Amino acid sequence: MDNEMRYVYEVYRENSFSQAAEKLFISQAAVSAMVRKAEKELGCQIFDRSTIPFTLTEEGRFYIEAVEKILQIEQDLKSYFDDRKNLNVGRLCVGSSSFYSAYFLTRIVKAFQKKYPGIYVEIKEGDGRELNNFLLEGSIDFLFGSILHPKVETKSIIYTHEHLILAVPEKFPANKILAPYQITFQNIQNNAFLDDKFRSVPLWDLRDCPFLSLTKTGSDLYQRTIDICRNAGFMPKVVQYFSQIMTAYYVAAVGGGATFVRSSLFSMIQEREGLVYYKVDDPLAKRPIYITYRKDRYISRAMSAFLEFTAALPAQYRM
């Protein structure tokens, strides 16, 4: 693919000329000039600059779809000939959030590369929107995490499940009447809370509490926070948004608000004072973690090896 297409596509991805220039390590003027050159050659505008933020024109949408097809063809071509050259050598790129990368992927990749030392595995981190774009453009082979409604047909394999726990600042008055429902940090760490003897909290009693959430854009956890509370009969009063779940957890610990956190988080952190924990009884509180890839792409031997390897991993890699 020529630079002209790459520059136009980066402007589309970032929805900003200045941010695209930053990612491409060139000046904004150079990016603008390249876009104008492409539009002159096509005889039409790719971006409608009369809107704020700018949008794609009808011709621009066709152009971007064509670029995405070219990117996928390039990736498939490289994967095919890599396979032909050497069956024991390959490359994989797995996209995931920083949390899943730290908690699951580093262990998985280490074990995978021990078995397949000739296959290089790159982990590419991003937020929900970025990961969706990575999958769309073909710059990652797999997306590891929750499904974010990509614009292409995908195949998803459930790797494991995690559960959402509600962490509430200890000083909140509602905890007094909810004391029988509280579970300990250790109950969560060893998954004992999944036993039926631990009762789920009646969320309605927390309707007046302030909540913390992850950011709205591209966050599965944000949507689950809203939907779980709505299923309990109220809309949460979200007072702060964060890009990282660890930040929300630490702000909750100093009294900032209640927040839903992943049960898997508790194996990575030390117990903090100032919080009490509750089991949540809602289907949305059990969240699948997927390995997702595009249906329309070439499946390399390295990809097949990774899928077979992860399918056979024992339970300790899934908790």
Query: Mean pLDDT, the chain, as a whole number?
Result: 90
How sure is the predictor about 258, in pLDDT bands with cuts at 50, 70 and 90? very high
Q: Name the fold adopted by 161-287.
A: D-Maltodextrin-Binding Protein; domain 2 (3.40.190)
How sure is the predictor about 211, in pLDDT bands with cuts at 50, 70 and 90? very high
**Rg of the chain on CA atoms, in Å:** 23
Q: What's the confidence (pLDDT) of residue 128?
A: 78
Say which residue the tokens 């790129």 belong to.
Answer: 93
User: Would you say residue 173 has pLDDT above 70?
Assistant: yes
What is the arithmetic mean of pLDDT over 206-218? 89
Q: What's the confidence (pLDDT) of residue 50?
A: 87
Superfamily of domain 70-159+288-317 in the CATH hierarchy = Periplasmic binding protein-like II (3.40.190.10)
Q: What's the confidence (pLDDT) of residue 151?
A: 63
Considering only residues 89 and 302, tell me which one the structure prediction assigns the higher pLDDT. 302
User: Would you say residue 88 has pLDDT above 70?
Assistant: no
User: Would you say residue 93 has pLDDT above 90?
Assistant: yes
Lowest mean pLDDT among 126-140, 197-211, 230-244: 126-140
Neighbour-count burial of 226, counting CB atoms closer than 10 A to its CB (0-12 exposed, 13-18 middle, 19+ buried):
middle
Q: What's the confidence (pLDDT) of residue 197?
A: 95
Would you kindly state where each structural domain of the chain is located, as residue ranges? 3-66, 70-159+288-317, 161-287
* Nearest to 290, CA basis, from 199, 159, 124, 166: 159
CATH of 3-66, one of 3.30.70.20, 1.10.10.10, 2.40.37.10, 2.40.50.1070: 1.10.10.10
- Please enumerate in sequence order all residues whose Cβ is within 8 A of that of 52, keeping only pairs 6 or more positions apart, or say none: none
Q: What's the confidence (pLDDT) of residue 82?
A: 75
Domain 161-287 in the same topology as domain 70-159+288-317: yes
What is the arithmetic mean of pLDDT over 20-37? 89
What is the arithmetic mean of pLDDT over 112-128? 90
**pTM listed for this prediction:** 0.69
Say which residue the tokens 């050598």 belong to.
Answer: 89
How sure is the predictor about 111, in pLDDT bands with cuts at 50, 70 and 90? very high
